[in-house]
Amino acid sequence: MKHFLVVGLGRFGRAVAEGLAEAGGEVIAVDTDMSLVEAVRDRVAVAAQVDRLEADTLRALDAADVDAAVVAIGEDFAAEVLTVASLKELGIETIVARANTERERRILELVGATRVISVEAETGQRVARSLVATDVIDLVALGGGASVAYWTADERALGKKLGDLDLLTRFQLHVLAVRPAGTERLDLFPATDYVVSAGDVLLLIGADTRLAAFTR
C-alpha cells in the first residue's frame, strides 16, 4: 500500500485526498481549517488540523514516510512555497504542487516541487479531449503521450467477455478496472471472462493516439 500526504483541503485538495483513498492509498490529509479537516475525516486514514505547516509539525504526523505529497494551498502562495520547502527538507522524493501562473511554477520548482500543475489548464485540456471522444466520461493525462480514460461501454463491447474484446492486441490498451453499471465500486484488474453489460464503465490506459482511435 502506498502512503500519501495531502496538504490543503479545499475543493482540489479534498478531491485528490478522496481519490487517492478510494484507489487504495493510505492518506494523511492536513489543513489549518478544522471544518475542512472534519469534511474528510471519514474518507482518509488520518485527518489533522495544524496551526503551522512546518517541517517539525509535518514530521510529527509521519509525513516523512509517505511515498508522495500533494500541496494544494491555492489561495496562499507564500504558504504553499514554505510547505513545499518543508517537505523537501523532510526528504520526500515526489512533491506535487499547483500553480496559477508561470512565475509561480518556476518558484515552486526551485524550492523542491517535482511536478507543478495548473489545475485550470489541465482541466480544460481534459474537457477538450473528452468532448472529441465517444462515451468518455473523463480522461486524465499521465504525461509522455499516455492517458487514462473512463469509457462507457458501447455496442462493440456489450455482452462480450473482456478477453474476447482483445483490446491489448487490437488497440494496445489495458483494462485497469471496471465500474459495474449502477454502482460506484471500482473492480481492479478484472478477469478476462468478465462479461460487459450496458452501463459498465471501463478504466482504460494507453497511448493517447490509441485511446483516440478506439473511443472516437
pLDDT for 83: 93
* Structure confidence at residue 122 (pLDDT): 58
Q: Would you say 38 and 73 are in contact if contact means Cβ atoms under 8 Å apart?
A: no
Q: Which residues span the domain enclosing 194?
A: 126-215
Give the end of a domain, one of 119, 153, 173.
Answer: 119
What amino acid is encoded at 68 in this protein?
A
User: Are 97 and 138 members of one domain?
Assistant: no
Count of structural domains within the chain: 2
> Does residue 7 sit in the same domain as residue 52?
yes
Q: Are residues 92 and 131 in the same domain?
A: no
Prediction pTM value? 0.59
| Residues 88 and 133 grouped into a single domain | no
pLDDT along the chain (216 residues), means of 10: 90 86 88 93 93 85 89 85 92 89 89 82 51 59 75 91 92 91 87 93 87 79
* 119 neighbors 111 (Cβ within 8 angstroms): no
pLDDT of residue 63: 83
Tell me which residue of 174, 157, 153 sits closest to 165, measured CA to CA: 157
Using CB atoms within 10 Å of the CB of residue 27, give its burial: 0 to 12 exposed, 13 to 18 middle, 19+ buried: buried
Cross-strand bridge partners of residue 30: 7, 48
Single residue among 96, 119, 142 that ends a domain in this structure: 119
What confidence score (pLDDT) does residue 52 get? 80
